[in-house]
A and B are shown apart, each in its own frame.
Chain A
Amino acid sequence: MTPDNGAYATAAYVLVAVVYGVYVVSLKLRERRLRERLARLDAPARPAPSRAAGA
């Protein structure tokens, strides 16, 4: 008789989607953070705020 164990298969497919999905998201987040950091490093240094400004 064929066992009724569909829930195990469903759980496995869901878990695999979670494992790969979380990894893809982590790659994208890490890439975005690095890109922002690189943009900050490459940005020209801001001039020091003048004391007269806003006074």
Chain B
Amino acid sequence: MTSASEPTAPSILRPRRDPLLGVAIVGIALLYVRALAFTPIEARQGAAQKILYIHATSAIVGLYVAFGLMAVASLLYLWLKDAKLDRVAESAAEVGLVYTTAVLVTGPLWGKTIWGAWWTWDARLTSTLFLWFIIVGYLLLRGAVEEPGRRARYSAVLGILASLLVPFIHLSVYLFRTLHPMPIVLKPSAPSMPPEMQTTFFAGLLAFILLFAALLRTRYRLATLRDLVADRDQEHR
């Protein structure tokens, strides 16, 4: 059930150049050029406002896409017990952790210049940091449980529980008095940005979604390969 018998050894042994990863890297490079050189500087916040194009886009993809996928794959795993779904959940969690790391690294740089403080314990920031730690725990749990079926089941439950924090993080700016700005894109009304900034923002979002797809595919292949190695190890014993 949890065996990696699907991929055949010769095909997975072959090193692959992933064109999607190449396209995503070019997309991110273009975003950098457009954001830094061709997007106007916001009058009140200065150039630091440009952090939005990598901070908010990473947050949307990391929190909603990656951890959303982790939750759906975990739920489906508990239902169907298919090892592929466990690998999807694991891969989405790890890639989502990288995106959340980018969010937590860039946020303080914006905060220092706009708020005058690197960090504040407000609801949005604290709950995002809390989710980051839970996902680290999720990956540590996966490394600690050897039996594949039990590992997949435990991590599916933890993954679903962790993903419940995502709507809380989204709503935290409405539920609590926070320093973090209100959503400027993911809200019922139109985005509150001039058209040129909107173009940069949505181009960035597309680039980060492409990067997510490429990283997820690579990480999934890695998980498949690892399970195949584990199977072969068992056969040799």
B-contacting residues of A (Cβ < 8 Å)?
2-6, 8-13, 15-17, 19-20, 23-24, 27-28, 30-32, 34-35, 37-39, 41-42
Contacts and interface: CB of A to CB of B under 8 A. Distances in A.
Given A31-B218, A42-B232, A5 B225 contact: no
A34 B229 contact: yes
Chain B: interface secondary structure? Answer: helix
Contacts of B219: 27
Chain A: interface secondary structure? Answer: helix
Interface of B: 9, 12-13, 15, 21, 28, 32, 35-36, 41-51, 54-55, 58, 95, 98, 101-102, 105-106, 109-110, 112-113, 211, 215, 218-219, 221-222, 225-226, 228-229, 232-233, 236
B109 A11 contact: yes
Contact of B47 (A9, A15, A16, A32): A9
Most chain A CB inside 10 Å of its own CB: which residue of B15, B95, B113: B113
